[in-house]
Amino acid sequence: MNNVIDLYQFRRHRKIKKLLRFVVAIGIITIFFVFAYLLIVTGMYHPTEFPSYIEPKP
């Protein structure tokens, strides 16, 4: 009977490890996409690249 309980706990831990690995993989992918999005947005709309709408008077 002791072997059955140990086998059940081993299977449960294996499922928990798979779930944690899945969650970590999704987290890393999400962080990567957020980082890439921020790089693209700050690259496109950088404050120094805004056109100046005020014409300098001669």
In terms of phi and psi (left: phi > 0; alpha: psi -120 to 50; beta: otherwise), the region of 3 is alpha
- The verdict on residue 51 lying in a domain is no
Cα–Cα dist 10/29, whole Å: 29
- The verdict on residue 54 lying in a domain is no
- The verdict on residue 36 lying in a domain is yes
- The verdict on residue 41 lying in a domain is yes
- The verdict on residue 25 lying in a domain is yes
pLDDT tier for residue 45 given thresholds of 50, 70 and 90: low
Total domain count, the chain: 1
| Structural tokens at position 23 | 């969650």
Neighbours of 53 (CB within 10 A): 5
Structural domain of 38: 2-46
- The verdict on residue 34 lying in a domain is yes
Cα–Cα dist 41/45, whole Å: 6
- The verdict on residue 20 lying in a domain is yes
- The verdict on residue 28 lying in a domain is yes
Residues 6-41 pLDDT 10s: 666 667 777 888 889 999 999 999 999 999 998 888
pTM of the full structure? 0.54
